[in-house]
Amino acid sequence: MASQSEGLAQITLSQTQTQGYWRQAWRRLIRKRIGIICLAIIVVIYLAGALATWVTPYGYNDQRLTEPDESARFCALCEGPSFSHPFGTDALGRDQFTRVIFSLRTTVIVTIAGIVTGSLFLGIGFGLVAGYFRGLVDSLINRIGELFTAFPTILLVILLAASVRPPVVDWVRDFGDVGRDLIRLGVVDYFIVFGALSAFSWVGMMRIVRGQVLSVRENQYVDAAISVGASNWRILRSHVLPNILSPVIVLVSMGMGTIAGSEVFLSFIGIGIQSPTPSLGIMMFEYGSVSVLRTEPHLLLFPAGVLALLLFTFNLLGDALNDALNPRAR
């Protein structure tokens, strides 16, 4: 009975310390104005992408046909930024602001799906199992991770996305009108891109989580939970996972920026999101030339600027979270 009472006391003390740690981390984060500003910018961008259908005044393929400008050297239907078209219009008379917002919807879908399936589900799951149980399970998971990292990740993602898409599209097309609608709406492209990214994004998270678990499992509150008869699942869920969330949160914030950049890169080289589904990568590929930059700079600067802002804010937010969640950081 005495050992069980001591074990329960250790568990209660650990939970109290964890709650106090998160309160202190939140106070440190609030004091970092750059981190809060970056978080607000990311939330606004992601909300705009998630609510693209209601935020934008036009459809992303709606054309505004006007009298062609015969003096235009590149784009007869292009218009510069105006009150009705803040980002101007493209070569087909489509509103650039609308297409950028719908491109952000693509980024939102791919990044969230990639993070949830790759880093969170696979990375944290395999890391917890490998670090807690060790032995043969640990060795097997690490060998699989080494196999995935033996080759350049982006090259494997390109090969996977390029080889998987044609048979998947043919298979979905066999479902008739439903399949054609899924292809037209870009659902198949979303699935292929985030699937390829999540398949290779879990290894780094797994290694970080595994290292943290190896340290946390040696603490007294874990021994106390074992002594009172707690199951392995309860120990992992209630005592190990809450105490390793600090590096996980930092990695997730930086990983979202990496996945967003990877999605744009895959679309830029033509094996990611396909037209007519809008993507920042497609927009930069279509107008990525010096002649466009000289004559119609809005066609390239606005999508590239939004992407740069998103990646920059993710990096700054990651630094702010690292400082806030690290008690030794000043």
Range 134-153 burial, b when 16+ CB lie within 10 A, else e: eeeebeebbeebeeeeeeeb
Query: CA 57 to CA 86: how far, in whole Å?
Result: 11
As a CATH number, domain 2-61+96-325 is 1.10.3720.10
Between the two ends of the chain, the Cα-to-Cα distance in Å is 44
Instruction: Give the pLDDT of residue 201.
Output: 80
Within its chain, how far is the Cα of 52 from the centroid?
A: 18
DSSP letter at 84? S
Beta carbons of 119 and 255 less than 8 angstroms apart: yes
The two three-digit tokens of residue 172, written as one number: 């979905």
Sign of CA dihedral 51, 53, 54, 55: positive
Beta carbons of 128 and 241 less than 8 angstroms apart: yes
| 279 HSE (CA, 13 A, CB side) | 30
DSSP string, 243-292: GSHHHHHHHHHHHHHHHHHHHHHHHHTTSSS-TTS--HHHHHHHT-SHHH
Percent of the chain beyond pLDDT 90?
4
Q: Which tops the pLDDT comparison, 10 or 228?
A: 228
Question: Who's near 293: CB < 8 A, 6+ residues apart?
Answer: 300, 301
- Angle at the Cα of 249 (from 246 to 251), degrees rounded to 5? 110
Instruction: Give the pLDDT of residue 2.
Output: 47
Q: What average pLDDT does range 108-114 have in this prediction?
A: 85
Instruction: Give the pLDDT of residue 66.
Output: 58
Alpha carbon distances (Å) from 265 to 235, 261, 284:
41, 6, 10
Task: Please state, rounded to an integer, the average pLDDT across all residues of the chain.
Answer: 79
Instruction: Give the pLDDT of residue 13.
Output: 46
DSSP letter at 118? I
> Residue 81: is the preceding peptide bond cis (ω within 30°)?
no
Over its C-alpha atoms, the chain yields an Rg (Å, rounded) of: 24
Q: Is the pLDDT of residue 17 over 70?
A: no
Q: What share of the chain is helix, strand, coil (3-state, %, to 5)?
A: 75, 0, 25
Range scoring the smallest mean pLDDT among 7-16, 229-238, 253-262, 293-302: 7-16
Instruction: Give the pLDDT of residue 75.
Output: 64
DSSP string, 304-321: HHHHHHHHHHHHHHHHHH
The torsion angle over the Cα atoms of residues 59, 187, 115 and 317, rounded to 10 degrees, is: -10
Phi, psi of 275 (to 5 degrees): -60, 150
Within its chain, how far is the Cα of 197 from the centroid?
A: 10
Range scoring the smallest mean pLDDT among 65-69, 164-168, 240-244, 309-313: 65-69
Q: What average pLDDT does range 313-326 have in this prediction?
A: 80
DSSP letter at 219? S
The torsion angle over the Cα atoms of residues 114, 120, 124 and 125, rounded to 10 degrees, is: -90
Nearest to 46 by CA among 117, 122, 115, 119: 115
Q: Which tops the pLDDT comparison, 184 or 265?
A: 265
The two three-digit tokens of residue 248, written as one number: 């996980």
